[in-house]
A and B are shown apart, each in its own frame.
Chain A
Amino acid sequence: MTDTPLLALSGLTKAYPGVVANDDVSLRIAPGEVHALLGENGAGKSTLVKMIYGLVKPDSGTMQMHGTSFAPQEPRAARAAGVGMVFQHFSLFDALSVAENIALGMENAPRLRALSKQIRDVSEAYGLPLAPDRIVGDLSAGERQRVEIIRCLLQDPKLLIMDEPTSVLTPQEVEILFKTLRKLSAEGTAILYISHKLEEIRSLCDSATILRLGKVVGHCTPSETTARDMAEMMVGSTLKTPTRAGKTPGAVKLDLRGLSAASPSSFGMPLRDITVQVRAGEILGIGGVAGNGQDELLSALSGELLTAAGMVGFEGQDVGQLGPTARRHLGILTAPEERLGHAAAPDMSLTENAMLTGAVREKLERRGMLNWPAAKRFAERIIADFDVRTPGPGNAARSLSGGNLQKFVIGREVLQRPQVLVVNQPTWGVDASAAASIRQALLDLAENGTAMIVISQDLDELMEISDRFAALNEGRLSEPRPVQGLTVDEIGLMMGGANGMEVAHV
């Protein structure tokens, strides 16, 4: 590593109305260095990388690249200077082909035929197989990420920014991604890596900068620091690990027999012959790469997707033909993955959102008349019990940060004393301390006799809270196995392996 840093930030400050997103942030990255950026939700990580990528302009402070001033006015300028960024989401076009998507992210894209050849060459060199003429909407999450990575690699970047790259990958895919990143780093490309997964950072990154409330609160060498210490630096206080008492599962609450259903969406995955039982007080963890039937399973259980008779049983009763309201009445509650637009109506207030799913079980409605004061009290109870940070229940769901809204939508279901609770991605995009409190709430609920299905992409989470684990692959559910004694390799195999990926030809 040389003495002149590849990228040096000094005193970067960016304020939005009401909040200082970055306050006097300084950072140095050497060529070939893998640098982690850590922090809770809302700590200012995204704002910082957006400034480096030219999407946001700093209010004050300077950036230098190779010792010369660097102030990109737009992403185009940043890309020209050798900065590439792999986004967490929102940067691929479903209806366009792989090659077209890649061409859109390049300054001087060659003709499609020449580009397709380049894509094949790069994907082969880095062990990321990808067919240039496929439509992106048909690709798996892991393949979509390859599109983004290859888009960056084709521009020969000096600095690659990766925002939560592993949240949608199987363990085997993560291993291959890391091999690619290590190879890049060995070739002199610096990587700025954002992730909530501290163990990954420990195995991959050379150094780390920790942000809290927009300020740099510390640096560390991840390989020499424990994950717990890093988490506590992020949060600024000691972290509670979810705990649970030993318990014996009760009677069978939810009984799925050969559940099969076509997907309502054209890019979706049909459910194929899913048979599983969940007992009172038990948590069944369901893993698997996104897009393998998770959303469809949740809809089939919530009643959004009706199924043939005899496929979904609840306490011996056939509920497959009942709609969501009737199932809520029985105590089958669900919290879907998509917070804005599915779990919550973005432009409605928290009180109204509390009314939407709580009306039946919290008796907020009588003969078609809505009891708003009671709904407001219910919303306030959720806010207090789950530490939702918002000025009050009158605020729109949209105005909450992702983590806070997640606490609200999970809390809303947990407080309705469900008999069966199905949650999808309960802690997605939520910081470590909030995630711990959500998991604790789920464990407490199971303790009180609720049968629970937790669908998640986060294997550590599933290992931490579930009693049994099963994986969804191509709409099929594997045989559930007790979590105790399950190894990462076994889980990877249950999830369908690496989906045809091969190891990088280093």
Chain B
Amino acid sequence: MDLSAINPILFVAGFLVAATPLIFAALGELVVEKSGVLNLGVEGMMIIGAICGFATAVETGSPLLGFAAAAVGGALLSLLFAFLTQITLANQVASGLALTLFGLGFSALLGQSYVGVKPPRLPDVNFGPLHDIPVIGPIFFSHDIILYLGFALVVAVWAVLKFTRMGLILRAVGESHEAAHALGYKVVRIRTLAIMFGGACAGLGGAYISLIRVPQWTEGMTAGVGWIALALVVFASWKPWRLLLGAYLFGGITQLQLNLQGAGVAIPVEYLAMSPYIITILVLVILSADKSAAPASLGRIFHASN
């Protein structure tokens, strides 16, 4: 075993990349849950985003168009969920599970002719001289634009939820839909928009896996990141900063265990492979011991009947 084979700079840069899909997916779900809706279809929306983004990038040659298509694809699929749960008042848990199964199957169908194709690469943002700073440069200033977008989105969601009227209304709808309705807020419309935002974010996260992290298309390639995102939202107590921390932790340990495998550590590969899941959940469980409550209307069906 040779730990010196692990390059700390590449390691940190790598875990920022590994965390990004999770940041997008979990952040989208956080907004959805803040509005009082539990969408378990994150995995399905991610994989649809992954194939939509991949196919569009390959056909048009533009990775950015691919990401746009991924967001649209994820949002469209989430619209199906919104229709089921907000209009026909179907059960949210069942609808979300169905969405995941449907997304996995449908993406496999769409992706049949893309197996083994190499997508166009999204160039890194040119920071000029900043890139040449030792250590800092390669870690923080050598990534693609989508990674920075993910970080900016965390800041934006935090600020919107905390400081704006829009965020206040969103939280209010998630807290008590009856009260929000009585004050004249359009509960169904607000929730539908939140669900679509969540879908678009999940789509972006999926495309980040298929276009940048891996980059290729295989069936089921999101490999449970959507489920981790769901758990992350809960253990992050619905707080964007804590969510970012959890995502980096997860990304970091994923990257570390890959490096350790590469370095030939004498721990069975299976234990290393499960370590990111276990450690992330453990840390977040401890962090969430302050009992920050879930949005009070989470998962409850709203009907303006009285």
Contact = CB atoms under 8 A, between A and B. Distances in A.
Is B a genuine binding partner of A? yes
Interface of A: 54-55, 74-76, 79, 87, 90-96, 100, 103-105, 109, 266
A256 B165 CA distance: 50
B168 A91 contact: no
Contacts of B183: 75, 91, 104-105
B295 to A, nearest CB: 8
A100 B184 CA distance: 16
Contacts of A92: 176, 179
A111 to B, nearest CB: 9
Given A55-B184, A95-B296, A100 B176 contact: no
Contacts of A100: 168, 172
Contacts of B178: 90-91
Interface in B154-189: 165, 168-169, 171-172, 175-176, 178-180, 182-185
A93 B176 contact: yes
B172 A91 contact: no
A1 B185 CA distance: 35
30 contacts: A54-B184, A74-B184, A75-B183, A76-B184, A90-B176, A90-B178, A90-B179, A91-B178, A91-B182, A91-B183, A92-B176, A93-B171, A93-B172, A93-B175, A93-B176, A94-B175, A94-B176, A95-B175, A95-B296, A96-B168, A96-B171, A96-B175, A100-B168, A100-B172, A104-B169, A104-B172, A104-B180, A105-B183, A109-B165, A266-B291
A94 B296 contact: yes
B293 interface: yes
A210 B176 CA distance: 33
Given A94-B175, A95-B296, A104 B182 contact: no
For B184, B291, B295, which residue has the most chain A Cβ atoms within 10 angstroms?
Answer: B184
A104 B164 CA distance: 11
Nearest to A87: B182
A238 B97 CA distance: 59
Contacts of B291: 266
Nearest to A76: B184
Given A94-B176, A95-B175, A103-B168, 15 more contacts: A55-B184, A74-B184, A75-B183, A76-B184, A90-B176, A90-B178, A92-B176, A93-B172, A93-B176, A93-B179, A94-B296, A95-B295, A100-B172, A104-B169, A266-B291
A104 B182 CA distance: 11
A79 B185 CA distance: 13
A87 B178 CA distance: 12
Given A54-B184, A100-B168, A104-B168, A91 B175 contact: no
A75 B304 CA distance: 14
For B168, B169, B185, which residue has the most chain A Cβ atoms within 10 angstroms?
Answer: B168
For B165, B172, B295, which residue has the most chain A Cβ atoms within 10 angstroms?
Answer: B172
Contacts, number: 52
B293 A95 contact: yes
A76 to B, nearest CB: 5
Contacts of B176: 90, 92-94
A95 B291 CA distance: 13
A75 B179 CA distance: 12
Interface of B: 165, 168-169, 171-172, 175-176, 178-180, 182-185, 291, 293, 295-296
A184 to B, nearest CB: 21
Contacts of A95: 171, 175, 293, 295-296
Contacts of A76: 184
A75 B184 contact: yes
B175 to A, nearest CB: 4
A90 B168 contact: no
A266 B294 CA distance: 13
Contacts of B293: 95, 266
For B179, B183, B293, which residue has the most chain A Cβ atoms within 10 angstroms?
Answer: B183
A266 B296 CA distance: 13
A439 B176 CA distance: 34
Contacts of A109: 165
> 10 tightest A-B contacts by CB?
A75-B184, A90-B178, A93-B175, A91-B179, A91-B182, A74-B184, A76-B184, A104-B172, A93-B172, A95-B175
Contacts of B168: 96, 100, 103-104
A103 B293 CA distance: 22
Nearest to B171: A96
A266 B291 CA distance: 10
Contacts of B172: 93, 96, 100, 104
A92 B184 CA distance: 13
Contacts of A54: 184
Contacts of B295: 95
A74 B182 CA distance: 10
A93 B175 CA distance: 6
A253 to B, nearest CB: 39
A46 to B, nearest CB: 9
Contacts of A87: 182
B30 to A, nearest CB: 15
B171 A55 contact: no
Nearest to A136: B175
Nearest to A75: B184
A227 B208 CA distance: 72
A76 B181 CA distance: 11
B158 to A, nearest CB: 16
A55 B181 CA distance: 9
B236 to A, nearest CB: 17
A156 to B, nearest CB: 18
A104 B176 CA distance: 12
B172 to A, nearest CB: 5
Nearest to B185: A104
A39 B291 CA distance: 44
Contacts of A79: 184
B227 to A, nearest CB: 27
B296 A103 contact: no
Contacts of A105: 183
A79 B176 CA distance: 21
Nearest to B182: A91
A74 B181 CA distance: 10
A55 B182 contact: yes
A79 B183 CA distance: 10
B135 to A, nearest CB: 41
B34 to A, nearest CB: 11
A235 to B, nearest CB: 24
Contacts of A266: 291, 293
A55 B180 CA distance: 12
Contacts of A55: 182, 184
Contacts of A90: 176, 178-179, 182
B83 to A, nearest CB: 23
B184 A103 contact: no
B165 A103 contact: yes
